[in-house]
A and B are shown apart, each in its own frame.
Chain A
């Protein structure tokens, strides 16, 4: 049995990819519950700051563009790995991780400015649900950045990651992106 064949299920699908899609499915339930909690408690804070007083749409729009661009660069990295192009794989993998770091920097800035304006996790229901939801998303982005950097270091050492490994990393990264698409609309734009 070859190494590649060892990873295939009886359905002819890659077992790692299938398991990862199942994991993403479970992540849908995690974020579904956090978003539900945010929406259920929306407008029920007894004291401020309230969302319309504090949320910075232009700044968050920039973060959204940043994450969308990182998704584009991620698929370009996958395409480079698939055609065995080490140089561009190196560039695109680092580029994706870099844009992820820019997003995280933006989130650190946003959280610190909110705390400065009086919104802490225990200030009101908005603070509790907002920080838990966006913080969980940020933790996922952090994991994604670390994962991408491990691939990048691998390419720096002259060892190309397999296309399937990068594709699975990409699935995770794009999932983090689609979760942000939902958060941006439900939390930031629909106030």
Chain B
């Protein structure tokens, strides 16, 4: 039935109808470069490359699942979370404009590793403090610490230089400068206890206070490997997230806790953002699962009167005192944050912690106005291009040219319908590819028509010339289209994002133009010839 004229017309009408149907029901998915949105490429953060590749692949697998849960709840329409290869995740968030960018990134990158740790009295650390001070002096050298002490009001950029300047092989040189600067140095006491001098006794027994301006220096000290080793076994130090104001100065609490958490976020059942009924501040309430709840209530029964640190990604978000046995639920007070932040925290806690830190390898964000502008311009360009093609074809091939243009219309509908039906994404280069393919789709028709003309010049009867024309042009059309198709497939294989979109439209365009030239144009020709005798002249 596909070869009789009626059969051909039915096939074409059915395909066009199906394409139109898909176009109106599915609509074509637009790429982020056209509709605006954010595109991220993530990898497990492993700058030294020390992770085994299986471990990394496993981490990426779990991270993909967790990110999917987080993003599904984020409320973006048609988000994409996709693993690429064994160690990469692509996240696409349509409609995320330049204003929500950092919020979306926080949501994706936050590890959300929640721990509950017992706060220890600072006396646990007291014995180790002098050792820590000695280690710092040993590691950094006297003069760079002296310089740090002098730099009290703005210890920001210079610190790195100072530290690295005073290290290792440069120490002799550093010593000589120290001699020169000697008279200017302040009291030597600063140098002897570089870390301890930054600490003030805290308002609760498990915490030191560090002035906000000294935090950067203190964090640098604590990050030294020698200092990490000097911290007593089974204790760890955590900063509290929010600073507190005491009198004129602001401080941040540095708390001593047990190293091991007694419960972690893995045992969370659920978490929700809410407002604290008393102070109307945002908070996140959470609920443990049965195992977690049991452990939590056992632990709190034994530690009534002690403080518990709720540690999120190494920072203490709150440190409540245990008033009574606590069951399976609790709250995290969010202090100065707003409800959006509380909601996001609840979301990441529900979705679970990421198995490893994710680094952003690539980030592209396009505002919606720019995308719309591209669409508008692309449509105008496409329209003008089509008019050019129609005029050229009609002028050059007359009626046959008009038949080709009709076939081209079918081609256009089929390509768009296929994009909609298979859910392919139309990107900006893809749109250009589509417009380009209109120019190239004519090619097959031109090959056929030229061949028919040649056959007519050789004196063949019209009908024979048409048949011969289609038959002889076939090999050129097949071979030319096949090689272009190969290129499109290779482009798809090696390309990413917008380039892939281009490859897809190119490939669809090739298949559709093949069909449109050999089947649709042929059908229109048969229709055109059906009223004629075999030897009547045709307009070509």
Q: Do A and B bind each other?
A: no
Chain A residues proximal to chain B, CB less than 8 Å: none
